[in-house]
């Protein structure tokens, strides 16, 4: 039997078959997140959103009562999708049960749904449970969503409930890796994903990429004062950028 790359039994997410739903990532509501620092949740949702934009996925944005304490959409998300309509719900908590949101989802014609929402037990759970029953394959991105207090207890309860209902529990970089599937695709386009969303929002990969690129461009060449076998890290060698001291 012969095999071809990226051909397997699991019907994976791809830029051609998936849609991203971002629900209620609003300035006020971000303060409710208790299972991780809000800035971590913000970083992760921006990484997911930037990756989706880079890969060309449809992205649907929605807010809940974006006046008063809930606040406006996180500015970085608004700036990332300046031409996208934000579906503004006046009070319905379950985004899937707001007609304009549901119509926007159906208009994409896609049944594989990647979803992240500001709060796990409500904004994430309610539409996910509905969509599964309506025949969607739902991928809930937990690290781009947040749990209300007490955070860990809420998160564990949500994961158990969603898993039982058939929702796929995911993390944002795992979703992105599944979408790209082969880094040669990114390489062929000049590395927009790796050096953009992945570099900026996944610090460990960012450090790795910076090191690799520094090495490739000669930025890791030893300084002129370094002599193999003589210049050891004893404290007597000069700091980078200074001249050697005599004696």
Query: What is the set of active-site residues?
Result: 123
CA distance 46 to 54: 12
Question: Taking a C-beta distance cutoff of 8 angstroms, is the pair 117, 94 a contact?
Answer: no
The token duo for 26 is 């609003």
CA distances from 165 to 12, 94, 133, 168 (A): 20, 17, 9, 9
Q: How far is CA 168 from the centre of its chain?
A: 16
Question: Taking a C-beta distance cutoff of 8 angstroms, is the pair 62, 26 a contact?
Answer: no
Residue carrying the six token digits 């490739």:
216
Question: Taking a C-beta distance cutoff of 8 angstroms, is the pair 26, 119 a contact?
Answer: no
**Helix, strand or coil for residue 59?**
strand
Angle at 89 between CA 151 and CA 146, to 5 degrees: 15
CA distance 16 to 183: 17
| Length of the chain, in residues | 247
């Amino acid at each position: 039997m012969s095999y071809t790359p990226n051909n397997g039994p699991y019907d994976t997410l791809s830029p051609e078959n998936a849609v991203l739903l971002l629900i209620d990532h609003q300035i006020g509501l971000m303060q409710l997140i208790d299972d991780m620092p809000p800035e971590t949740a913000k970083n992760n949702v921006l990484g997911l959103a930037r990756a989706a934009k880079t890969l060309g996925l449809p992205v649907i944005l929605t807010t809940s009562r974006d006046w008063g304490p809930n606040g406006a959409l996180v500015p970085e998300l608004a700036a990332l999708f300046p031409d996208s309509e934000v579906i503004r719900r006046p009070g319905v908590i379950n985004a899937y049960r707001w007609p304009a949101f549901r119509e926007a989802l159906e208009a994409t014609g896609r049944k594989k749904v990647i979803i992240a929402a500001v709060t796990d037990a409500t904004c994430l759970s309610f539409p996910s449970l509905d969509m599964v029953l309506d025949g969607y394959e739902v991928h809930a991105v937990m690290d781009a969503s947040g749990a209300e207090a007490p955070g860990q207890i809420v998160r564990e309860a949500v994961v158990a409930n969603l898993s039982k209902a058939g929702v796929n529990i995911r993390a944002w970089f795992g979703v992105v890796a599944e979408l790209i599937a082969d880094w040669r695709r990114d390489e062929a386009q000049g590395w927009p994903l790796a050096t953009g969303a992945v570099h900026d929002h996944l610090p460990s990969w960012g450090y790795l990429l910076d090191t690799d690129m520094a090495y490739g461009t000669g930025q890791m060449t030893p300084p002129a004062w370094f002599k193999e076998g003589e210049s050891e890290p004893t404290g007597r060698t000069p700091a980078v950028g200074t001249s050697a001291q005599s004696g």
